[in-house]
Structure 1
Amino acid sequence: MPERGEHYFSATPRAGSRTDTVRVRLDDVELDLTTDTGVFSHGRLDAGTRVLLAQAPMPRIRGDILDLGCGYGPIALTFASRRKRTKVWAVDVNERALHLVRLNAGAAARGNVVAAAPDEVPEEVRFAAIYSNPPIRIGKAALHELLQRWLSRLLPGGTAVLVVHKHLGSDSLAKWLTEQGFPTTRLVSERGYRLLQVESHR
């Protein structure tokens, strides 16, 4: 577990390294991914992420894909496997998470994955699709700032799919996103998790 007062969204986790392997088994993708302490959902595939991977639609248009808050990379690696010729950006502030994504991309021979800290993504890059199990626990103000920053980089016709549990404010988040000019609808509700589809800014 992270040290007291430390979170998986810390840039440099202080928790001692203890790696484990997570098996991702979907109808169309099989991956064995290395995880570590100090990274979101260490040692397991988060239930919300599993709902997203199983239920989220593929991008409507061509272009780069963003996994926002990538952790050890289950979303990025899954979509990179589904779209082998598409560049998939795996973005996280957690340096240990980015190291794991690079390790997992190499093991899976997914050369189309680019692991990067937020400020390492060139400003001109735009996305056909964004997929995210967003870091709700960073707080509402920080979450809103994060989402506005990246959703504004969707290409026209692009969409984002976010997975948020109903007890963590999925419905109020959907309302807020729509009010900000990002029309948002609920695609799926499963085990309390909502998949929210967010349209590009209008």
Structure 2
Amino acid sequence: MAGQGEHYFSATPQAASRIQAVQIKLSDLELELTSDAGVFSHGRLDAGTKVLLEHAPVPRVRGDILDLGCGYGPIALTFASRRKRARVWAVDVNQRALELVRDNAAAAGRGNVVASVPDDVPRDVRFAAIYSNPPIRVGKAALHQLLLTWLPRLLPGAAAVLVVHKHLGADSLTRWLSAQGFPTTRLLSERGYRLLEIRADAPSKE
């Protein structure tokens, strides 16, 4: 936690900066990223994020990619490296996280990453894929609103992939998404984490 009463999803973390490098080693690439206090998963690669990076399918269609709740950028930088011609939007409300993403993208030579607060993503942008280790702790209502805001922006044939721990409501979230018209399937379960795929078969809810 960034501080008493403060969360990693605060817009302007008050925690004193404590820069720490994070080594990401996957079967197809290695990255060294910078993390900081007041940002999700400071000083480490979150176990759920690792499950997503190791097992999430690459986009089925061409187009922009969204990392929703990007933190310091492990998902955004990984998929920007795997899909060098795709624009990857790294979206977060945490300004310190966005600065880290910009610095990490520059250090990795990934000019295809755009770090942005949600409201600065043009409304006409649609996504070939959405990847997220979503901020479950914002609460159910806020999480549901977040997903209902972004999932309708998937391109036809696209999919979103979320990683959620079973003890944090992965199975109930799966049922809720399907009930909202977003067919959701479990791709795998590893170390208690569910990897969920949501297909873009629902009508737009603009």
TM bucket, shorter chain: over 0.9
Q: Which amino acid aligns with 2:25?
A: R
Determine the structure 2 residue equivalent to 1:121: 121
Determine the structure 2 residue equivalent to 1:19: 19
C-alpha displacement of 1:46? 0.1
C-alpha displacement of 1:3? 1.2
Determine the structure 1 residue equivalent to 2:174: 174
Aligned equivalents of 1:129, 1:180: Cα separation in 2: 19
- In the alignment of these two chains, the number of paired residues is 202
Determine the structure 2 residue equivalent to 1:134: 134
Aligned equivalents of 1:141, 1:60: Cα separation in 2: 30
Equivalences for 1:43-58 in 2 at 5 Å?
Answer: 43-58=43-58
C-alpha displacement of 1:2? 1.1
Measured against aligned partners, the alpha-carbon deviations of 1:84-124 in whole angstroms (never above 9, x if no partner) come to 00000000000000000000000000000000000010000
Equivalences for 1:135-174 in 2 at 5 Å?
Answer: 135-174=135-174
Aligned equivalents of 1:29, 1:15: Cα separation in 2: 31
Q: Which amino acid aligns with 2:134?
A: P
Measured against aligned partners, the alpha-carbon deviations of 1:51-107 in whole angstroms (never above 9, x if no partner) come to 000000000000100000000000000000000000000000000000000000000
Aligned equivalents of 1:16, 1:29: Cα separation in 2: 31
Tell me the TM-score normalized by structure 2.
0.97
Tell me the TM-score normalized by structure 1.
0.99
Q: Which amino acid aligns with 1:95?
A: Q
Determine the structure 2 residue equivalent to 1:99: 99
Q: Which amino acid aligns with 1:40?
A: F
- The yes-or-no answer on 1:28 pairing with 2:28 is yes
Determine the structure 2 residue equivalent to 1:86: 86
C-alpha displacement of 1:153? 0.4
Aligned equivalents of 1:83, 1:3: Cα separation in 2: 36
Q: Which amino acid aligns with 1:3?
A: G
Aligned equivalents of 2:38, 2:29: Cα separation in 1: 26
Aligned equivalents of 1:133, 1:3: Cα separation in 2: 22
Moved over 6 A (4+): none
Measured against aligned partners, the alpha-carbon deviations of 1:130-180 in whole angstroms (never above 9, x if no partner) come to 000000000000000000000010011110000000000000000000000
- The yes-or-no answer on 1:67 pairing with 2:67 is yes
C-alpha RMSD over aligned residues: 0.6
Q: Percent identity?
A: 74
Aligned equivalents of 1:80, 1:99: Cα separation in 2: 17
User: Gapped runs of 5+ residues in structure 1?
Assistant: none
Aligned equivalents of 2:145, 2:99: Cα separation in 1: 25
Aligned equivalents of 2:65, 2:8: Cα separation in 1: 23
Measured against aligned partners, the alpha-carbon deviations of 1:4-23 in whole angstroms (never above 9, x if no partner) come to 00000000000000100000
User: Gapped runs of 5+ residues in structure 2?
Assistant: none
Aligned equivalents of 1:38, 1:159: Cα separation in 2: 30
